[in-house]
Homo-oligomer: A and B are copies of this chain.
C-alpha cells in the first residue's frame, strides 16, 4: 500500500480530467509519448482569441482565466478553470478559431496534448468521444443558466452568487469551507460578473459590513454562505 499508483495512473500523470480515464492502456501510453508538461508563471497566455489551436491543455495545478474581449476592449471572464479542467477542446472540435483567451492567474502546471494525438483518440475511442460529448452538453447547461443570470439578475445578486461559485473554485480538498480564500483582483472579479470595478468594491464593502464575508487585502473569505445564497436567489 505504500505505492498506491497503478500503471495506468502513471501513464496519464499530469492529466486529471476524468475523460482520460476511459482510455485503454495503449492509448494512455500514446498520450504519454505525445504530451508535454510545463510549469508556467502567472500571467502567461496559453492561447488567444482567433488562434488556431495546436492542441488541448490540461490544468494540473493553478487557476486559468478564460475571457473574451467585448467591443470596448473590456475583458469578460467566462470561467475560472482549476485543476482537472480541459481547455481548448471546444475550439478544436468546433473547427473554428478560438473565441476566447486562456491566461494563467497563478503559477500553473499545464499538460499539453497535440492536436493529432487528441483527434486520433476521439476517432478511435467512442467512449472517450462520448465522455467529451457529455462534458460539452453539461457545460451548455451551465452557460444557459449563466445567460439567465446575466440577463435578469442585478449586480448585487450576481456578485453574491459568484462568490459562492468561486468558493468552490478556490476550495482545496478536505478544506474547511469557512477558510477558503478567494484570491482575485477586484478588476477580475468585476469582469466576471460584468460590472465596473468600483461597483464591485462598494458591494463587497456592504457584504463585509453585514458580516457575510471577510476581506484581507485582495483575499476574500466567505463567512455566511447561507445568507449569500438568499441574496443570490432574490428577485
Are B96 and A141 in contact, CB atoms less than 8 angstroms apart?
A: yes
The 4 closest A-B pairs by CB, nearest first: A151-B194, A94-B137, A150-B150, A136-B136
Cα–Cα, bound, A224→B193 (Å): 33
State whether the Cβ of A138 lies closer than 8 Å to any Cβ in chain B.
yes
Check: A221 CB closer than 8 A to any chain B CB.
no
CA distance A60 to B229 in the complex (A): 42
| A146 interface hit (Cβ, 8 Å) | yes
Task: Tell me the count of chain A residues lying within 8 A, CB to CB, of chain B.
Answer: 45
Shortest beta-carbon distance from A30 to chain B in Å: 18
Q: Which residue of B lies closest to A133 (CB)?
A: B133
> Of A31-39, A72-80, A104-112, A208-216, which binds chain B?
A72-80
Q: Tell me whether A140 is interfacial, beta carbon within 8 Å.
A: yes
Q: B78 near A147 (CB under 8 angstroms)?
A: yes
- A223 proximity list for chain B (CB < 8 A): none
Residues in B with CB closer than 8 Å to A95 are 134
Interface residues of A (CB under 8 A from B): 68, 70-72, 74, 76, 78, 89-91, 93-96, 99-100, 122-123, 126, 129-130, 132-134, 136-141, 143-148, 150-153, 193-194, 233-235
Q: Which one of B123, B134, B147, B150 contacts A93 once the chains associate, using CB atoms below 8 Å?
A: B134
Please pick, from B78, B93, B152, the residue contacting A70 in the complex, using a CB distance under 8 A.
Answer: B152
| Cα distance A133–B72 in the bound complex, in angstroms | 32
Q: What residues of chain B lie closer than 8 Å to A94, measured between beta carbons?
A: 134, 137-138, 140-141
**Subset of 7 A-B contacts with CB under 8 Å:** A71-B235, A72-B235, A94-B134, A123-B130, A136-B136, A136-B137, A147-B150
A127's closest neighbor in chain B, by CB? B123
Instruction: Point out the residues of chain B lying under 8 angstroms from A126, CB to CB.
Output: 123, 126, 129
Considering the chains assembled together, what is the distance between the CA atoms of A123 and B133 in angstroms? 12
Most buried by B among A68, A144, A194: A144
Q: From known contacts A70-B153, A123-B126, infer whether A93 and B144 are also in contact, taking CB-CB under 8 Å.
A: no
Chain B residues contacting A234 (CB-CB under 8 Å) are: 71
Closest to A97 in B: B141
